[in-house]
Amino acid sequence: MLVGSKNYRTIEASEDQSYVKIIDQTSLPFKLKIVHLKALDDVIKAIKNMQVRGAPLIGVTAAYGFALSMNSDSSDDALRKCKKDLVNARPTAVNLSWAVNKTYDALIKIPIEERIELSWELANNLANEDVDKNILIGLHGYNLFKTYNKKTINILTHCNAGWLATVDHGTALSPIFKLFDEGFDVHVWVDETRPRNQGLSLTAWELSQYKIRHTVVTDNAGGLLMKEGLVDFVIVGADRVALDGQVCNKIGTYLKAIAAKENKIPFYVAAPISTIDINFSGKSRNFEIECRDSDEIMTMKGQDKSGSIVEVRLGNSPAYNPAFDVTPPEYVSKFICEKGVFDADKIRDIVDL
């Protein structure tokens, strides 16, 4: 996506394939900082401390983790270490284990001397495929939303499922970019998304860069906005989608879905098929809901008057910081993926397509 006059992806291999360039998302919205990852450890740290984040992007980043590791050691042991360490970097988004398993399975069966070249090819392909899928999500979403016969389409979104959460274009924001490109007057209500403020820091920044009208609201404002007729639809991304249509996404998504249903407002989920977990269905949750450091709640980062980034402490009480929740399928109006637009109870069919 364009930032100023320059086109960026969130992650890119260097020309000589010795390092990977990422946009450091912990510096936004204050500074667009590019960081170079040179080894597997750098990749793991970047995923853990959320310099890269968002389900599709952490999957692609992990694939580059294999490539960087193969540069120095292409042995089976090195491959096994990549697999173990990368999968454990963050537990909730299934895209991470999907990308790790796919990359590991392809590399383990080929001769050691071919692994460097193939690992870079696999990571680059995964990155390019992510972009293609997101463009399709944008198109399918656009075809669904262009029928809204309104002067301004008011959309509410939670967390960041824009281009920063993917390699480019985003999932939930991709149809919004497309609506805007096609001349629709869109306005986005951006949930700040405490505690890490991905909405306020990342989604709002993306929308400003694209010149899309938007307004940041507290996470608790959505119910009021919906009740007062100020939201036409809600759209979010996903970290894991069950075969029966349950959607695991950033903490607070479930509350938005409940408010949307109560107010008869459509609630859409946009994600690539790689976000569907074929082992997740019904009551048996087979994955961990990431619980992050309580300091994320008890501190806040900002910019002081001199422009320096400062962190302030908000209190000293114990805090509990689950990072994701699960929305039941009856709250999901439609699921938008690269293959089209589906009812939540048809997720099983998409996997079989």
161-169, 298-306, 311-319, 329-337 -> range binding ligand MRU (CB under 6 A): 161-169
Task: Please identify, using beta-carbon distances, which residue of 51 and 249 lies nearer to ligand MRU.
Answer: 249
Q: How many C-beta atoms surround the C-beta of residue 306 within 10 A?
A: 6
- Spot the catalytic one: 239, 295, 304, 345: 239
**Any contact of residue 97 with ligand MRU (CB under 6 A)?**
no
Whether 239 sits among the annotated catalytic residues: the reply is yes
CB of 177 to ligand MRU, least distance (A): 13
For tokens 């000589």, name the residue. 16
Q: How far apart are alpha carbons 131 and 240 in whole angstroms?
A: 19
The angle subtended at Cα 334 by Cα 269 and Cα 132, nearest 5°, is 55
Closest CB to ligand MRU among residues 25, 103? 25
Q: Is 327 in the site for ligand MRU (CB under 6 A)?
A: no
Write down the least CB distance from residue 261 to ligand MRU, Å: 19
- 53 contributes a contact to ligand MRU by CB under 6 A: yes
The site for ligand MRU, by CB under 6 A, has a size of 18
Do 162 and 172 form a contact (C-beta atoms < 8 A)? yes
Residue 44 binding ligand MRU, by CB under 6 A: no
Sole binder of ligand MRU in the list 23, 40, 43, 55 (CB under 6 A): 55
Residue 246 to residues 96, 170, 235, 258, 325, Cα–Cα distance (Å): 19, 21, 15, 13, 10
Q: How does strand 153-157 pair with strand 233-236?
A: parallel
Stretch that binds ligand MRU, among 14-22, 157-165, 217-225, 339-347 (CB under 6 A): 157-165
CA distance 71 to 76: 13
Helix ranges (H only) for the chain are 40-48, 55-72, 76-87, 94-108, 115-145, 174-181, 198, 204-210, 222-227, 253-262, 295-298, 347-352
Query: Contacts with ligand MRU in 240-259 (CB under 6 A)?
Result: 249-250
- Residue 69 found at the interface with ligand MRU (CB under 6 A): no
Q: Is 247 strand, coil or helix? A: strand
Nearer to ligand MRU, 120 or 329 (CB): 329
When binding is defined by CB under 6 A, the residue of 100, 161, 212, 332 that contacts ligand MRU is 161
In the complex, minimum distance from the CB of residue 171 to ligand MRU, in angstroms, rounded to a whole number:
4
Binding mask 162-201 for ligand MRU (x = CB under 6 A): ---xx----x--------------------------x---
Alpha carbon distance 197, 204 (integer Å): 10
Amino acid at 325: D
Q: Decide whether 83 or 240 has the Cβ nearer to ligand MRU.
A: 240
The residue (of 120 and 142) whose beta carbon lies closer to ligand MRU is: 142
Cα 123 to the chain's mean position, in Å?
Answer: 18
**Start-to-end CA span in the chain (Å):** 30
Catalytic residues: 239
Residues that bind ligand MRU (CB under 6 A): 53-56, 93, 159, 161, 165-166, 171, 198, 236-239, 249-250, 323
